[in-house]
Amino acid sequence: MCAMIEVEDLTKWYGHTLALDRASFTVQEGQIVGFLGPNGAGKSTTLRILTGYLPASSGQARVNGHDVFLESLDVRRSIGYMPENVPLYPEMRVQEYLRFRAGLKDVPASKRAATADRVIERCWLTDVRRRLIGQLSKGFRQRVGLAEALIADPKVLILDEPTIGLDPAQIQATRELIRSLGRKHTVLLSSHILPEVEKTCDHLVIIAQGTIAAVGTIEELREGLADRQRIVLEVHPGTGGDGPAEVTRALGQVDGVGDVRHEDAGDGWLRVLATPARGADPREALHGMVTQRRWRLREMSRETPTLEELYVRITAGEAGAGPRTAA
């Protein structure tokens, strides 16, 4: 597997304002990578540099082996780019527009009609193919933008908020399309809809205040928040005289368990929250302790941080960045 996007020490100044501060990350061939960050974090600046719309102040960026600054035309031939606000010609019809864009992207004249038909079908535009773009809804215009990004069958797709303006059924269909595109294309996807990112992407790159805050799979990033993982038990100590303090003490002595606390769950039941030691999974040992003490157990589950919790804590600087690669 080779690197399709390489960013090294990328820096961008707007006058006296530092928008991008030595950002570095790598996206490997065939990956679907979510690019996340708060407003003003440097996401759009990074995407514009990668797509050739904006020069960097310093640093290097390569797409499909081509230098973004020295081989701009080769980079643009390798990329299908869908910005958040798709620039379209409202006076053109969908089919006409896509054939026009195919010509601009060097698709041979003999193949432009068939190529346009292919992306029209893939992006669910068949019913509106002869309609004026200016008469389409926001959701349909988003689909036209995605079809345009696919028209030249690029090796790299850069999608900025691809599901914005879509209804739930269209979002699900777009998610499935993007997942299928990952079998043939490398995808860098920017979005604020965190559940969609979690369901769509293999890896994450999180940027905050112009610097790369974290890179890796969701599970790898969760390892950096081990203190937020916990095992939840609902335990009833019965009539043997064991009170909440004894339950907490006994479960806290189980191998692989760190902090333990409890809450009253009503009717004599306790909701016990046990934080496992880093890398440990003490659920079986906890069950053994409950059985040994002849307590009743009606629930045991493992809670891990959601993507939203990961995102908030990482952008707040509470977790390590990890390696600067999406490999």
Q: Are 114 and 57 in contact (CB under 8 A)?
A: no
CA distances from 123 to 61, 128, 141, 143 (A): 30, 11, 11, 6
- CATH assignment of 3-223, among 3.40.50.300, 3.40.190.100, 3.40.50.1100, 3.40.50.1370: 3.40.50.300
Q: How many CA atoms lie within 13 A of 231 on its CB side?
A: 25
* Pairing state between β 32-36 and 186-190: parallel
What's the token pair of residue 247? 């339950």
Instruction: For residues 250 and 253, give the distance between their C-alpha atoms in angstroms, rounded to a whole number.
Output: 5
Regions of the chain with pLDDT less than 70: 1, 224-228, 318-327
Maximum CA extent, the chain: 85
- Write down the domain spans for the chain: 3-223, 230-303
Whole-model pTM: value is 0.78
Q: Are 49 and 6 in contact (CB under 8 A)?
A: no
Instruction: For residues 277 and 309, give the distance between their C-alpha atoms in angstroms, rounded to a whole number.
Output: 19
Q: How many CA atoms lie within 13 A of 313 on its CB side?
A: 18
pLDDT value, residue 156: 96
pLDDT value, residue 323: 41
Amino acid at 48: R
The backbone torsions φ and ψ at residue 180, rounded to the nearest 5 degrees and listed phi first, read -70, -30
Please, is 120 exposed, middle or buried when counting C-beta atoms within 10 Å of its C-beta (0-12, 13-18, 19+)?
buried
Q: Which residues are bridge partners to 272 per DSSP? A: 233, 262
Instruction: For residues 156 and 182, give the distance between their C-alpha atoms in angstroms, rounded to a whole number.
Output: 10
Residues 6+ apart with CB under 8 A from 252: 259, 260, 274
What's the token pair of residue 254? 């189980």
- Please identify which residue in the block is written with the tokens 């993507």: 307
Q: Are 91 and 78 in contact (CB under 8 A)?
A: no
pLDDT value, residue 289: 95
Q: Locate all alpha helices (DSSP H) within 38-167, ordered by sequence.
A: 43-50, 72-78, 94-104, 112-122, 138-150
pLDDT value, residue 165: 73
- The CATH architecture that domain 230-303 belongs to is 2-Layer Sandwich (3.30)
pLDDT tens digits, residue range 5-41? 999 999 999 999 999 999 999 999 999 999 998 888 8
The backbone torsions φ and ψ at residue 266, rounded to the nearest 5 degrees and listed phi first, read 90, 150
pLDDT value, residue 175: 86
